């Protein structure tokens, strides 16, 4: 059942290239135009929306955070990302001009379900991005864009996260095309880039042993920080969540720019700090994160960079670099940068003797509020 892997989580990490490919499959025409047949929300409604609110929990919410950067860039529609349980119990501004996008692997998360019920009561249309066919969230939404990651057995979400980002990107590109935004010309280019991502994830998986070996050297860490900027920020939060839930290590992910606003006080000798470095081809973004890396290193922390091949500055300042292939454009980077973090967390759990597939106190789907 585990396809030769020790754990379902390892198997599912190795299925990530397939998860992207399957989520893309059949959704573009040979001419490169997007076809989302399951988009049962009318085009006139989609043209008239003035806001998107992503409603989700945990890892699925981090996929939503990544999507915000892409959808706002491509579509010029404001995107908010809300944890479903917070969305439901405040008084959110939602109406018929709001598209609520619910993201859920299981499709059964009660917090998310209550969020979409609330949104529909206010007259919004709900689009679900769900992995499990026929699940409650899928049934109760106006339209469903399925992620085709296949069943995810390990409690910690990995391939579903990758597929959720892919599906959100399809949605963003679809809306950009439909609404005739200035980025319409770029749609074909981005679709092409998405199509290359399975191969790039495969490349990251080739360094799995190196990542695992390094992880074992950190087995005694009691606290680990993750920082990132732009799309690296949600990836940092996801890296921290994986480590908490699997290896039971205190971990925190935050926006790299926040470092100087407080968290820098935490930096001390030998503290492991992961820094998700943007591509050097975005010099402004890159130089800021490189200076964070320097600041962390100057205080004696063990700086670990996730960086693009050929990034000599990241190499100069980090104690260790987990390389990812060159990925144009920046928006595609989360699909590769999260992979070393998933492998890292799974290896730390393993060396500590924990159950990688079933971390303590957790359930695969959280069906209570």
Footprint of ligand F6R (CB under 6 A): 57-60, 104-106, 109, 112, 156-157, 241, 245, 365-366
Q: Which of 219, 217, 208, 227 is nearest to 249 (CA)?
A: 219
Beta bridge partners of 169: none
Nearer to ligand F6R, 57 or 201 (CB): 57
Strands 302-308 vs 272-276: parallel, antiparallel or unpaired:
parallel
The upper half-sphere exposure of residue 189, i.e. CA atoms within 13 Å in the direction of its Cβ, equals 9
Looking at beta carbons only, is 114 or 351 nearer to ligand F6R? 114
Q: Say how many C-beta atoms besides its own lie within 10 A of residue 327's C-beta.
A: 22
Output 169 or 323, the one with its CB closest to ligand F6R.
169
Q: Write down the residue that tokens 């692997």 correspond to.
A: 105
Kindly state the DSSP code that residue 222 receives in the 8-state scheme.
S
What letter would DSSP give residue 277?
A: P
Closest residue to ligand F6R using C-beta atoms: 58
Burial of 91 (0-12, 13-18, 19+ CB in 10 A): exposed
| Minimum CB distance to ligand F6R, residue 9 (Å) | 10
One of 320, 352, 358, 364 is an active-site residue; which one? 364
Output 105 or 141, the one with its CB closest to ligand F6R: 105
In the sheet with 302-308, reading across from the earlier edge strand, the strands are: 250-255, 223-228, 272-276, 302-308, 320-324
CA distance 70 to 174: 12
For residues 103 and 259, which CB has a smaller minimum distance to ligand F6R in the complex? 103
Active-site residue flag, 364: yes
SS (H, E, C) 320-363: EEEEECCCCCHHHCHHHHHHHHHHHHHHHHHHCCCCCCCCCCCC
Neighbours of 90 (CB within 10 A): 8
Q: Are 47 and 174 in contact (CB under 8 A)?
A: no
Q: Which one, 34 or 243, has the nearer CB to ligand F6R?
A: 243
DSSP assignment letter at 28:
B
Please choose, from the candidates 276, 279, 281, the residue with its C-alpha nearest in 3D space to the C-alpha of residue 293.
276
- Please give the positions annotated as active site: 364
């Amino acid at each position: 059942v585990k396809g030769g892997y020790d754990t379902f989580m390892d198997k599912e990490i190795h299925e990530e290239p397939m998860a992207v490919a399957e989520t893309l499959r059949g959704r573009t025409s040979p001419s490169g135009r997007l076809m989302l047949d399951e988009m049962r929300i009318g085009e006139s409604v989609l043209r008239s929306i003035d806001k998107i609110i992503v409603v989700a929990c945990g890892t699925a919410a981090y996929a939503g955070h990544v999507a915000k950067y892409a959808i706002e860039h491509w579509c010029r529609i404001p995107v908010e990302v809300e944890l479903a349980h917070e969305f439901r119990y405040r008084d959110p501004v939602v109406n018929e001009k709001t598209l609520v996008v619910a993201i859920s692997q299981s499709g059964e998360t009660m917090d998310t379900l209550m969020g979409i019920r609330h949104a529909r009561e206010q007259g919004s249309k709900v689009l679900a991005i769900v992995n499990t066919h026929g699940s409650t969230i899928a049934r109760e939404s106006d339209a469903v864009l399925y992620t085709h990651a296949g069943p995810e057995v390990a409690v910690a979400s990995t391939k579903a996260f990758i597929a959720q980002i892919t599906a959100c990107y399809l949605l963003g590109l679809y809306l950009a095309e439909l609404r005739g935004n200035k980025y319409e010309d770029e749609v074909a280019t981005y679709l092409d880039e998405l199509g290359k991502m399975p191969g790039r994830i495969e490349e990251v998986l080739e360094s799995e042993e190196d990542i695992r070996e390094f992880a074992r050297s950190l087995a005694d860490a009691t606290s680990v920080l993750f920082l990132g900027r732009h799309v690296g920020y949600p990836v940092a939060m996801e890296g921290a969540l994986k480590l908490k839930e699997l290896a039971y290590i205190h971990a925190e992910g935050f926006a790299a720019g926040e470092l100087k606003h407080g968290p820098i006080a935490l930096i001390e000798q030998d503290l492991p700090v992961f820094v998700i470095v943007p591509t050097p081809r975005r010099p402004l973004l890159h130089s800021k994160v490189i200076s964070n890396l320097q600041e962390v290193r100057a205080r004696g922390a063990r700086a670990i960079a996730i960086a693009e091949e050929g990034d000599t500055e990241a190499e100069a300042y980090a104690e260790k670099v987990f390389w990812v292939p060159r990925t144009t454009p920046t928006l595609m980077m989360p699909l590769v940068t999260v992979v070393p973090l998933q492998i890292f967390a799974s290896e730390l759990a393993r060396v500590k003797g924990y159950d990688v597939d079933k971390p303590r106190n957790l359930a695969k789907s959280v069906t209570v509020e």
